[in-house]
Amino acid sequence: MLIARPRPGFTLIEVVIVAAVMAILLIASLPRFQQSAQRLRVEQRAFEFAQLLRYARERAVAQSRDAFWVWDDAARRAHLEQADELGRPVRLEERATESAPLVDGASVAVSVDGQRNACDCVQFLADGTATPATVEITLDALAYTVSVDGATGRATVATGPAAR
């Protein structure tokens, strides 16, 4: 008499149960993935702002004209301006002189010497110095701070909890 051996593999019920558990886990973790993606986009903007600040300094020195990093709250992006022959700021239209838009829910505050800056801008002089400024990008409880040293015009990025 032959004994029936169990067939290798999984039953349909076992596959459906595993798929259902995986779907539940995926749905439960989706908000965390979205938060992480949004946080990473804000972090990317902070580093992009720092790079744009560095470029403004380099441009001011190379062309012997003041350059300005400007935050445009309406467009939710930063751009560069440079002084014309009469010293008036003129917006630069090159692609490398504008950041990508900031994600919804994040905010930007520009301060000079610890005081909120009315123009939301940082000025770089032709000698390589700058107005000592801080650009803070805040999303929920996290803040990215881009600091500009006045004596050297150097921009650095730091991460920490948002000031409440």
- With vertex at residue 55, the alpha carbon angle to CA 51 and CA 58, rounded to the nearest 5 degrees, is 140
Provide the domain limits for residue 82. 13-161
Q: What is the pTM of this model?
A: 0.80
Q: What is the CATH number of the domain that holds 72?
A: 3.55.40.10
Neighbouring C-alpha atoms within 13 Å toward the C-beta of 103: 19
* Of 100, 105, 57, the residue nearest 79 (C-alpha): 100
DSSP state of 7: P
Average pLDDT value for residue range 82-94: 90
Is pLDDT above 70 for 163?
no
What pLDDT is attached to residue 4?
67
**Domain membership flag for residue 134:** yes
**Domain membership flag for residue 8:** no
**Domain membership flag for residue 77:** yes
| Burial class, 76, CB count within 10 angstroms (exposed 0-12 / middle 13-18 / buried 19+) | middle
**Domain membership flag for residue 2:** no
Q: What is the pLDDT of residues 149-160, one digit of tens each?
A: 999 999 999 988
Spacing of C-alpha 43 from chain mean position: 4
Backbone angles phi, psi at 86, to 5 degrees: -95, 5
State how far the Cα of 55 lies from the Cα of 2, in Å rounded to an integer: 82
**Domain membership flag for residue 47:** yes
Is pLDDT above 90 for 24?
yes
State how far the Cα of 13 lies from the Cα of 17, in Å rounded to an integer: 6
**Domain membership flag for residue 146:** yes
The three-state secondary structure class of 53 is helix
What pLDDT is attached to residue 127?
96
Please give the tally of structural domains in the chain. 1
Is pLDDT above 60 for 164?
no
Asked whether the beta carbons of 148 and 130 are under 8 A apart, the reply is yes
Band the pLDDT of 133: cuts 50, 70, 90.
very high
Q: What is the pLDDT of residues 38-73, one digit of tens each?
A: 889 889 999 999 999 999 999 999 999 999 999 999
**Domain membership flag for residue 117:** yes
**Domain membership flag for residue 4:** no
